[in-house]
């Protein structure tokens, strides 16, 4: 990523977002509230409250109403709207098509994700929509 000559909106190079469907990136401001549930070996994992809040709020953050994620962004980009952004840049946890936290598909179990009850294979590249119910399971 680099900034354009005016220093305002970041310009995303295609290589940075190669696996993201750029057609799904919002073209204007967003204020979305998807729900995220992470279940590892049958146990629901707590998503911390107030992640990404501070003097400057991250474009995705949590409040007291977890498992709701707050996507509030006046200039969404392919980098900041993915589920992977929430995990890597806000929660600082591993999440991709093979692993959630320290659990990776293999002998211990498999990773799966559903969105609104249907299997989804975009994992960290998924762009949540307002009202989505996202469930990530390992087991």
Indicate the domain borders of the chain: 29-138
Of 8, 18, 7, 5, nearest to 78 by C-alpha is 18
Task: State the pLDDT at residue 18.
Answer: 62
What sign results for the dihedral spanned by CA atoms 38, 96, 28, 58? positive
Q: Give CA–CA dist 69/105, Å, rounded.
A: 25
Residue 44 tokens read as 């629901």
Give this prediction's pTM: 0.84
Model confidence at 17, pLDDT cuts 50, 70, 90, reads: low
29-138 is a CATH 2.170.130.30 domain:
yes
Task: State the pLDDT at residue 7.
Answer: 41
């Amino acid at each position: 990523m680099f900034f354009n000559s005016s220093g305002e909106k970041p310009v995303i190079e295609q290589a940075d977002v190669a696996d993201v469907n750029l057609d799904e990136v919002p073209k204007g401001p967003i204020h979305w509230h998807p729900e995220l549930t992470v279940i590892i070996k049958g146990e629901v994992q707590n998503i911390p409250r107030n992640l990404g809040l501070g003097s400057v709020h991250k474009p995705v953050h949590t409040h007291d109403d977890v498992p709701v994620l707050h996507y509030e962004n006046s200039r969404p980009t392919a980098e900041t709207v993915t589920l992977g952004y929430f995990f890597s840049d806000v929660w600082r946890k591993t999440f991709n098509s093979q692993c959630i936290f320290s659990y990776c598909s293999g002998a211990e179990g498999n990773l799966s994700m559903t969105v609104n009850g249907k299997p989804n294979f975009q994992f960290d590249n998924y762009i949540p929509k307002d009202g989505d119910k996202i469930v990530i399971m390992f087991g």
